Amino acid sequence: MARLPENARNRYLAQHEFARGVAEPRSVPAILQFAINNACNFKCVYCSDHRAGNDIPRTRLEGRSWDDLLQLIPRVDVLAFHGISEFFVDRNFFDLVARCADARATLSLNTNGSVATPRHVDVLRDYPGPMDVNFSLDAATAPTFLRIRGWDFERVLANIKTYVAAFAARSAPTQLSTSFVICRSNVHEMAPFVRLARDLGMHEVKFYRLHEYGSLAWTIQAPDGKSFDYRDECTDHFKELHDEQVTAAIAEAERLGLRVAIPALYAEPAAAPGAK
């Protein structure tokens, strides 16, 4: 009988240890997310790099932390590479994807869509295991994309279409999604964003509110030359408009048959007539 892959053995061990209430497990988590570094080729207006007094240097996993990561890869079922960084520009991208492929792990990636070299496209198209790829966009039009992300909208859309076309040849399960951080500057594009996601061939569209932590507050000049006030952009400053656009986006997703993950309304939904 063939020996179980290391990640399957780890998964069963984890389930066994959990069921028995083992206090010092030998298993490792079956799902792990890593940010290899904190470097990105975009300068998004809401990124914490812009917060007042930020002096966090660019760093990356090295030494023992890097060695520990490499040892974990064969034991994990789902490996996610994303955080405050762009994994597709990391110098270890191809090595890490190859290691994940050897483990037949589910590969979860988040990208800003700026990179679609033939080598990137080929290695992901040929990835042997399940794959979950999310494209972070935050806009449905070029002007809004420029304001928030400061990059070429049409180029990113072309890159996404390249990946989607290549992934059509994959036999392993492939989940594609695109995400949108809701703020005052883009809230009016939520329903159009759902339509864009459908047109791009996504399986799901994900909406998130801009973080409302009190310590996140700054005003900068956005790439479109206009001011971006972080606190004023948070959805708790325009709750009615937020709820109106969330409702419209949900309705559009239902009409198009597209899965949507979306924040709850601020206001309680009105009760149906005659409901108790």
pLDDT tens string 123-154:
999 999 999 999 999 999 999 999 999 999 99
Is residue 84 one of the residues assigned to a domain? yes
Distance CA 190, CA 167 (A): 26
pLDDT in tens, 181-225: 999 999 999 999 999 999 999 999 999 999 887 778 889 999 999
DSSP code string of 156-221: HHHHHHHHHHHHTT--S-EEEEEEEEE-TTTGGGHHHHHHHHHHHT-SEEEEEEPP--TT---EEE
Coil, strand, or helix at residue 119? helix
Is residue 229 one of the residues assigned to a domain? yes
Return the beta strands (E) in 84-172 as ranges: 106-111, 131-136
Is residue 22 one of the residues assigned to a domain? no
- pTM for the structure as a whole: 0.92
Q: Of 115-119, 214-218, 250-254, which range is least confident?
A: 214-218
Is residue 5 one of the residues assigned to a domain? no
- Give residue 180's domain range: 27-44+60-261
Domain with residue 139: its CATH number is: 3.20.20.70
Is residue 53 one of the residues assigned to a domain? no
Q: Tokens standing for 140?
A: 């449905």
Domain count within the chain: 1
Is residue 166 one of the residues assigned to a domain? yes
Is residue 268 one of the residues assigned to a domain? no
